[in-house]
């Protein structure tokens, strides 16, 4: 039973945590793609920026969380989301809109977004330095241990406070997005523009508003994902390089331009990563006596070492590109 608890702690919970973060990030990538038709490489840096804003606000008002009973970082999240959304709209106005007005190919916009990536990264490091910092400045991370009511399970299931907040916020944002896309006028207009931009324009949809709304949503979600990841681990200025590949893999696996696909893709990539680095010899231990003598189970039976975690999203990406270029949910082909 202890092995099962180990599995739950190391795969089920850890996989859901990374899966949720990738899902929220991939939704932003996919929305930007479906409206503006380019792969936005600066998305992971917007996530880092959001987390950095939370860090700054937490440093400015360290006592704010105690009033509400939540970690200060979570209280500061809405403000950081607004700031990140503002940044996203501003970046679009300053860098992408002129390029779009020129009618350049999408790949030039991708290069432009690489430029934005570099600038954001430079700015964040210029102000935050290069070392890792904890978003828990004044408080301590709460850790919950759930004892299982079985005789054989002596170890508890461990969940931390940021992980619980993460699950709640993920569900809230997914439900909110669903309601927005299906019920509100703007959301419907957004879907129309993603399906057929010319027809949408002809039927009187204001494309500028739609673009701005897309950036606001993408920026807000990026801030949530970045903050949650930094809460769970630590804030690092070079977070974006570790996030970029997984969130793009998630968006492509789910089918580009498909928000629900992005959620599914996020969890696929998150779980694939955790399963790949999980040491399976632990699970084989209770049934080890069933194997014949000559089979010796090595101590480390992980598919890849933790240091090769980055390889996993790439292989999922390649597999999807080879077998099903439109992704599981049949998105657009980029």
Q: Minimal distance in Å, beta carbon 212 to another protein?
A: 20
Which value, in Å, is the radius of gyration of the alpha carbons in the chain? Answer: 21
Give, as one character, the DSSP assignment of residue 291.
Answer: S
Asked if residue 108 binds another protein (CB under 8 A), the reply is yes
Q: Minimal distance in Å, beta carbon 229 to another protein?
A: 18
In sequence order, which residues have a C-beta less than 8 Å from that of residue 16 and are 6 or more positions away?
167, 267, 270
One residue of 145, 151, 322, 323 binding another protein per CB under 8 A: 322
Asked if residue 313 binds another protein (CB under 8 A), the reply is yes
Q: Which part of the chain contacts another protein (CB under 8 A), choosing from 60-68, 94-102, 137-145, 162-170?
A: 94-102
What long-range pairs does 142-145 form, CB within 8 A, spacing at least 24? none
Asked if residue 123 binds another protein (CB under 8 A), the reply is yes
Q: Which part of the chain contacts another protein (CB under 8 A), choosing from 73-81, 125-133, 147-155, 212-220?
A: 125-133
Nearer to another protein among residue 35 and residue 189 (C-beta): 35
One residue of 182, 305, 324, 330 binding another protein per CB under 8 A: 305
Distance CA 37, CA 31 (A): 9
Distance CA 214, CA 35 (A): 8
Asked if residue 235 binds another protein (CB under 8 A), the reply is no
Chain residues 25-54 in contact with another protein, contact rule CB under 8 A: 38-39, 41
One residue of 7, 180, 241, 260 binding another protein per CB under 8 A: 241
Distance CA 257, CA 210 (A): 15
Q: Is the dihedral of CA 158, 164, 166, 168 positive or negative?
A: positive
Q: With beta carbons less than 8 A apart as the criterion, state whether 68 and 296 touch.
A: no
Q: Minimal distance in Å, beta carbon 76 to another protein?
A: 23
Q: With beta carbons less than 8 A apart as the criterion, state whether 230 and 17 touch.
A: no
In the structure encoding, which two tokens stand for residue 306, read together?
């933790």
Q: Which part of the chain contacts another protein (CB under 8 A), choosing from 52-60, 145-153, 175-183, 313-321?
A: 313-321
Chain residues 265-284 in contact with another protein, contact rule CB under 8 A: 280
Q: How far is CA 153 from CA 11, 146, 200, 331, in A?
A: 17, 11, 58, 44
Task: Report the interface residues with another protein, using CB under 8 A.
Answer: 38-39, 41, 95, 98-99, 102-108, 110-112, 114-123, 125-126, 129-130, 241, 244-245, 248, 252, 280, 298, 300-301, 303, 305, 307-308, 310-311, 313-314, 317-318, 321-322, 325, 333-334
């Amino acid at each position: 039973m202890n092995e099962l608890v180990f599995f739950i702690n190391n795969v089920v919970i850890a996989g859901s945590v990374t899966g949720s973060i990738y899902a929220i990030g991939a939704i932003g990538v996919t929305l930007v793609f479906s409206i503006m038709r380019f792969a936005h490489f600066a998305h992971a840096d917007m996530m880092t920026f959001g987390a950095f804003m939370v860090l700054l606000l937490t440093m400015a008002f360290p006592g704010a969380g105690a009033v509400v009973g939540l970690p200060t970082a979570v209280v500061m999240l809405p403000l950081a989301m607004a700031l990140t959304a503002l940044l996203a709209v501003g970046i679009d106005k300053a860098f992408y809109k002129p390029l779009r007005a020129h009618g350049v190919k999408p790949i030039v916009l991708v290069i432009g977004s690489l430029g934005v990536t570099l600038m954001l990264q430079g700015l964040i490091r210029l102000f935050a330095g290069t070392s890792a910092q904890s978003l828990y400045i004044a408080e301590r991370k709460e850790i919950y241990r759930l004892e299982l009511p079985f005789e054989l399970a002596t170890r508890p299931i461990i969940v931390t406070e940021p992980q619980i907040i993460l699950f709640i916020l993920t569900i809230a944002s997914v439900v909110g997005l669903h309601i927005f896309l299906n019920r509100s006028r703007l959301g419907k207009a957004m879907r129309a523009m993603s399906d057929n931009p010319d027809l949408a324009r002809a039927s009187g949809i204001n494309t500028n508003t739609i673009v701005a709304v897309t950036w606001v949503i993408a920026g807000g979600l990026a801030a949530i994902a970045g903050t949650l990841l930094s809460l769970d681990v630590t804030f690092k200025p070079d977070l974006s390089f570790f996030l970029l590949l997984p969130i793009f893999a998630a968006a492509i696996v789910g089918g580009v331009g498909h928000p629900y696909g992005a959620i599914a893709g996020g969890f696929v990539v998150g779980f694939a990563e955790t399963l790949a680095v999980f040491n399976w010899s632990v699970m084989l231990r209770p049934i080890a006596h069933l194997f014949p003598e000559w089979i010796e189970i090595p101590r480390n039976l992980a598919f890849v070492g933790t240091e090769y975690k980055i390889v996993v999203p790439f292989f999922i990406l390649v597999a999807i590109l080879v077998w099903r270029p439109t992704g599981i949910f049949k998105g657009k082909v980029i």
